Amino acid sequence: MVWKRLSGYVRSLEESSDILRIPDPVDVDLEAGCFADRFVKRGGPAIKFEQPRLPDGSISEFPLLMNLYGTTDRTYRALGVEEPKEIGEGMVALMKPDVGGILKAPWTGVGLAMRGMSMAPRKVSKGACQQVVMEEPDVTRLPIPRTWPEDAGPFMTLPLVVTADPNTGEHNMGMYRSQVFGPREVGLHWQAHKHGADHADAATGRMPVAICLGGPPGLTFSAISPLPDNLSEYEFAGLLGGRRLPITKCATSDLWVPAECDVVIEGYTVPGETRLEGPFGDHFGYYSLAEPYPVMHVTRITHRRDAMVPMTIVGTPPMEDGYLGEAIGDAFLPVLRFQHRDLVDLFLPLETGFHNLAIVASKQRYPRQARKTALGLLGAGQLMFQKVTIVVDENHPVKDLDALLDAIDYRVHIPEDLVFLRGMVADTLAHAAPWDNIHDKLIIDATTPPEGDPHSKLPEQAGCPESLEISASAVKGVVQARMLRSSMLVVTTNIEGGPKPESSMEMPSEEGAARQREVILEICDAIWSLEAAHNLRWLFITDDDAYLASEDWRRHLLWQLFCRFDVGRDLHFDKSGGRVAWDATAPIPSNKGPIPVRRWPGVTIHDPEVAERVDAWLTEGGY
């Protein structure tokens, strides 16, 4: 079913007992976020907080919704599809219609034409989002959570931020976290790569901005999707919904906003005016640190009579945004395959925060074809942020991480199959990058070399005995050791003076950083010199909070290996060049190392007292 408004989707969740109504007051400050985190980690239901308690102790008139998309099933239901690939297949059909088939049977083109016609938004004189006008605009009356203890304040985490190009009037709807500074001031975290930033840079005076909350779930999907520049979010929302999206004009500006939203916050930004925004516990599981971002001045707030406010929590994966991200990957795979004919399949594991690892299955008819595929994808939309891309054979199951380890173990020759791209674009939130928006990238070629490739005649590589775990565990500085494959070993360590998960390090410690690098290299050399490590090719080193004996160690290790690691700084080769150590320890900030380490953020961890209260409530309720 396609949803015309948020209330219809929520009603369907109630009918299927997939949303938990909490009638008791719950604090939007830390408590609501902790509830949502607990439920998403357990695959639990969506949550409707019927009495969200604001920081001043009052109860908001608006129910707070969280974890709306916290399972695969709910995400698919929100999109109104059985499988997300249906969305991409529909887009490809519009981009390349079967002209021959339509000419032979013209009636078969009617559905396609109707889909195309549904893309143009429909202007209406007044939308449901304008049924009630807040007499005194005050963003703090909305139930906006502060989800982590070190967050600088409440943040809108599912905001649909509408701007228009000052020169062309073309509208954009993006999702940029929005910090509440006060009743009429909001921070807008649009990064340099985003359209909102483009519009702000082009503005010569006050620029209108609108933040929309709620509305049809398809709007959320549209705002975060990697759309081509010639397809607007409103057009895509119409395509998703199978009908022209109704939009209505703001009262204080010429912006047009989705008419069926629950809340609309109108305002403007002033060129050059910024304010420190953050810290904020982000989707990589770390706090993004305070940086200057534009300020939105609020001029008007309107809402539906039955308005509800949806929010999410991001942090250490898996989180709700992970399910949305996986659905986006599946939905746009047909489009990417249409644009990149060598591409067979693509997977961005949610444990790595999506921008840190891409697993790409490619055709490989001629030597290095898969590398060409990987390079092409790095220029496709938000895939430009990828840190590590691993290419595999076209019949490889990209979502099977055990199969991925096998492919790397059997097929990757070091250093021949490691391709480095220096000084490339990075995500602004990539805290491990040595510079803002810049890092090195790595392509690992784990494909079977075809005829004609010089690697096709290389012999099988031998592995290591399992006894390596025992001997590596005895190395000074090693806490735990575990074999991943016959040529792969992961060890954990605890280096004195390094950042701890619950704390950040902002000031450089050159002496500490130099000592940390020494210890890492000493551990590498000691392990490589072990008799049992003669055929060890991959050595992974991370902090001892990986807990290699825990039930969930694989997921946590994957998160650490890709979120704490920088390609240019943290790969160490042995003297032969045929063995590599992958350093994923939290680094000490430094300006003098081979490659700098910026301020290192802390991990998102709930306040212990809040977590205890929430867990007690869940235990009492039988959850």
86/95 Cα distance (integer angstroms): 14
Instruction: Let me know whether 153 and 267 are in one domain.
Output: yes
Q: Bridge-partner residues for 480, per DSSP?
A: 492
* Residue closest to 36 by CA, chosen among 81, 68, 2, 6: 68
CB 550 within 8 A of CB 556: yes
Residue 25 is assigned to a structural domain of this protein: yes
- Which of 407, 436, 457 delimits the end of a domain? 457
DSSP state of 491: E
What are the φ/ψ torsions at residue 567 (nearest 5 degrees)? Answer: -60, -45
259/212 Cα distance (integer angstroms): 10
420/616 Cα distance (integer angstroms): 50
Residue 613 is assigned to a structural domain of this protein: no
Residue 343: helix, strand or coil by DSSP? strand
316/95 Cα distance (integer angstroms): 38
226/228 Cα distance (integer angstroms): 7
- What does 100-144 look like in DSSP terms, one character per residue? HHHHHSGGGGHHHHHHHHTTS-EEESS-GGGSEE-SS--GGGS--
Go through the chain and tell me how many residues it has: 623
* Residue closest to 3 by CA, chosen among 93, 110, 94, 76: 76
Which residues in the chain show pLDDT less than 70? 1, 95-118, 456-460, 501-508
Residue 205 is assigned to a structural domain of this protein: yes
468/478 Cα distance (integer angstroms): 13
* Residue closest to 428 by CA, chosen among 416, 437, 439: 437
Residue 302 is assigned to a structural domain of this protein: yes
Residue 327 is assigned to a structural domain of this protein: no
What digits encode the pLDDT tens for the residues 532-556? 999 999 999 999 887 787 777 888 8
300/623 Cα distance (integer angstroms): 40
Instruction: Let me know whether 234 and 159 are in one domain.
Output: yes
620/614 Cα distance (integer angstroms): 10
Would you report the helix, strand and coil content of the chain in percent, each value rounded to 5?
30, 25, 45
What are the φ/ψ torsions at residue 410 (nearest 5 degrees)? Answer: -85, -35
Instruction: Let me know whether 179 and 205 are in one domain.
Output: yes
* Residue closest to 432 by CA, chosen among 600, 602, 604, 193: 600
State the amino acid at position 522 in one-letter form: E
Domain, as residue range, for 446: 340-457
Q: What is the pLDDT of residue 454?
A: 82
* Residue closest to 427 by CA, chosen among 566, 596, 580: 566
Instruction: Let me know whether 191 and 132 are in one domain.
Output: yes
Residue 542 is assigned to a structural domain of this protein: yes
Q: Which segments of 5-84 does DSSP mark as H helices, in order? A: 6-15, 31-41, 72-79
Instruction: Let me know whether 122 and 237 are in one domain.
Output: yes
Would you call 192 exposed, middle or buried from its count of C-beta atoms within 10 A (0-12, 13-18, 19+)?
exposed
State the amino acid at position 202 in one-letter form: A
Strands (E) across 304-347 are located at 309-310, 343-347
* Residue closest to 615 by CA, chosen among 38, 22, 27, 33: 38
Q: Bridge-partner residues for 293, per DSSP?
A: 275
Q: Bridge-partner residues for 161, per DSSP?
A: 174, 211
Q: How many CA atoms lie within 13 Å of 262's alpha carbon, on the beta-carbon side? A: 28
Supply the residues annotated as catalytic.
Answer: 282
- Which of 457, 489, 520 delimits the end of a domain? 457
Instruction: Let me know whether 140 and 273 are in one domain.
Output: yes
Q: Which residues contact 297 (CB under 8 A, 6 or more apart)?
A: 184, 185, 267, 268, 269, 270
CB 385 within 8 A of CB 426: yes
The tokens of 616 are what?
A: 């007690």
CB 426 within 8 A of CB 438: yes
Q: What is the pLDDT of residue 496?
A: 78
* Integer Rg of the chain from CA: 25
Instruction: Let me know whether 436 and 493 are in one domain.
Output: no
Distances (CA, A) of 421 to 143, 428, 497, 582: 44, 18, 32, 17
Q: How many CA atoms lie within 13 Å of 87's alpha carbon, on the beta-carbon side? A: 28
Number of domains in the chain: 3
Q: What is the CATH number of the domain that holds 490?
A: 3.40.1670.10
Residue 614 is assigned to a structural domain of this protein: no
The tokens of 427 are what?
A: 């995500």
Instruction: Let me know whether 445 and 489 are in one domain.
Output: no
579/414 Cα distance (integer angstroms): 6
DSSP state of 597: B
Q: Which residues contact 347 (CB under 8 A, 6 or more apart)?
A: 329, 358, 359, 398, 399
The tokens of 252 are what?
A: 């204080």
The tokens of 528 are what?
A: 């490589």
Instruction: Let me know whether 223 and 347 are in one domain.
Output: no
Instruction: Let me know whether 62 and 209 are in one domain.
Output: yes
Residue 318 is assigned to a structural domain of this protein: no
DSSP state of 147: -
Beta-strand pair 64-66/46-53: antiparallel
Instruction: Let me know whether 137 and 280 are in one domain.
Output: yes
Residue 378: helix, strand or coil by DSSP? coil
Instruction: Let me know whether 180 and 279 are in one domain.
Output: yes
CB 364 within 8 A of CB 393: yes
- Which of 424, 457, 490 delimits the end of a domain? 457
What digits encode the pLDDT tens for the residues 454-483? 876 665 677 889 899 999 999 999 999 999
Residue 566: helix, strand or coil by DSSP? coil
Residue 181: helix, strand or coil by DSSP? strand
Q: How many CA atoms lie within 13 Å of 622's alpha carbon, on the beta-carbon side? A: 1
Q: What is the CATH number of the domain that holds 220?
A: 2.30.110.10
